[in-house]
Each structure stands twice: as structure tokens, then as C-alpha cells.
Amino acid sequence: MKPIDRIQETAQKIKSMEIRGAGRIAIAAASSLKDFAQSVDASSQEEFDSEIKHAAQILLDTRPTAVSLSNAIRMVTKSSANSLDGAREAVIFNANRFIENSQKAVEKIGQIGSRRIRDGDTVLTHCNSLAAISVISTAHKSGKHIKVIATESRPRFQGITTIGMLDDLGIETELIVDSAVRSVMNEVDLVVVGADVITANGTLINKIGTAQIALCAHEARTSFMVAAETYKFSPRTILGELVTIEEREAQEVLPEIHRYKHVRVRNPAFDVTPHHYIDVICTEAGAIPPEMSYLLIRERLGWEMEE
């Protein structure tokens, strides 16, 4: 298979959600760019740079919301090399560093976030987030007895992946339909969710249904935690850019849609949770109030976003 075909293959897997989860798509993009840099033919640095740019664009065009993808690609392709070999090595080095840091970040988030879970707590989670599961599993491994309530997360049922992972770890779970969140909220001590994007003012963009859960938690005075690596924060929102919410195909919600003449299915994959419903964002750089997102972006992700 040609190097660019392997990029196309990874892009297709990200698009179809065979590879999914904001962190996992970022790692997949980094690792496929590394593989591409190692194998693509180029006779000059200019040619190599333009091949990498082309490959990066194919990966970027897969899913429009998760900023992890564009942050990962920016971090992996950034280089000040002035030779062909140097440019190749830079991509390989950056990709390895990104993947390693990202795995370490999930571990660190687990250590930080799990301090907020007490022995005997009931934790509610939505969708399937490795960062959120790290918080839960670290609490469990430290000997705290916890119960997890997981939503199904229609239409793609990522909640089933979550209960499978927690079950393998020996953690007791209860599965609920998404609309049962209010019915159980009074039994919940803490909600923990992941993030697809966090904006400069601490607004969260995450799996559809998250905003309703946050609203419920707020009304019930239940703590709401976001677990997110720092590369889930969006530098472009400092420049005023709005986050695009991915709208996926109708068949995910209603496979028999072709039977109806006057029905349109709406299938936004993500929704927007205002920062005042969020108690804390646990990152590998520490637990921060959402209002500190602007500073975190400046400090960790920089300003130069024009490229």
C-alpha cells in the first residue's frame, strides 16, 4: 500500500468512527503521520513538506469538531528543520513525543481527578472517554469503593464500550438510557465526562447529551468534572473562532429513514455546556476552574495559530 493510501485508510476509520474518542483520533493521526514521514518518497525538503501538508489535510477533513486532531497535527508537523532528513526526523520525533505525552497525560489526569472521588461515591459518566475512565479507574485502584452509572449515549452507544471497560476492571456499573439521567441524579455524587473541545472561556463541547446532564447536575447540586488533556483546549477560540458541531448522517439515528417522506432526522454529535455548570477541569497540568482556560491555552498551546 502506498504511504498516502495508508493515510486515507486511517482517515476513513476516523470518519466512520471505527477509531473514535478525541484522544484516540489524535494519537491515530500522529502515528499515521509518523508512518507517512518514514515512508513517503521525496527528493527535497520542499517536496516532503508539501506531501506532509497534503496528508495532514486528509486527516483534518475527517471530523470537524475535535480540536485534538488539529492540535496533534500542528504539534507533529511543526519543525524548524532545514534539510530533508531533518524534516523527516522532526515529524517522527514530534509524533513519538505527542503519543508518549498523551498517554502520560491520561495517567496524570487520573491521579488528579480521582482525589475528588470519595470512598462510597456514585459517579455518573457519559459516552466513552479515556480521560474520564482514568479518573474512575484510578479511584478504584486506590481502594475506594465506587459505583458508576453510565448512559447508553445514543446513537452510537459508546456507553456500552464504557461499561465493558469498567467491567473488565471489576468496577460495579449501572447502565441507563440517556433520558434517565434526571431520575438517578439525586443518587450521584459526581459527574465525570471527557471533552472534545474546551474554549478560551471554559465552555465545553462534548458528546451530545452532555449539556443536559450538566444542567441536571447543576439543578441537583451535584459536582460536574471534565477530564481533559491540555490539547483538548482550542487556541483558535482566542481569535474568536466558533467551534463547528459535527452533524452526522440520519441513518445512525433511524436506519429506516428512507421509509418516510416528510421526516428529517437531526443528528448533531456534540453539544455545548456553559462554563458555569462546570466545577472543575482536570488536566495533566492540574485541576483548574473553567475560567482559567484562557491562561492555560496561552501557557501550554501558544498564540501562533495562523499557520
Residues binding ligand RI2 (CB under 6 A): 20-24, 127, 129-131, 158, 193-196, 206-207, 269
Q: Which is nearer to ligand RI2, 48 or 233 (CB)?
A: 233
Q: Which is nearer to ligand RI2, 34 or 232 (CB)?
A: 232
User: Smallest gap, in angstroms, from Cβ of residue 261 to ligand RI2?
Assistant: 30
User: Smallest gap, in angstroms, from Cβ of residue 177 to ligand RI2?
Assistant: 18
User: Smallest gap, in angstroms, from Cβ of residue 221 to ligand RI2?
Assistant: 23
Q: Which is nearer to ligand RI2, 21 or 113 (CB)?
A: 21
Q: Are 205 and 127 in contact (CB under 8 A)?
A: no
User: Smallest gap, in angstroms, from Cβ of residue 243 to ligand RI2?
Assistant: 13
Q: Which is nearer to ligand RI2, 45 or 103 (CB)?
A: 103
Q: Give me the active site residues, please.
A: 127, 196
Report the C-alpha gap between 107 and 113 in whole angstroms: 10
Grid look-up 479518573 returns 135
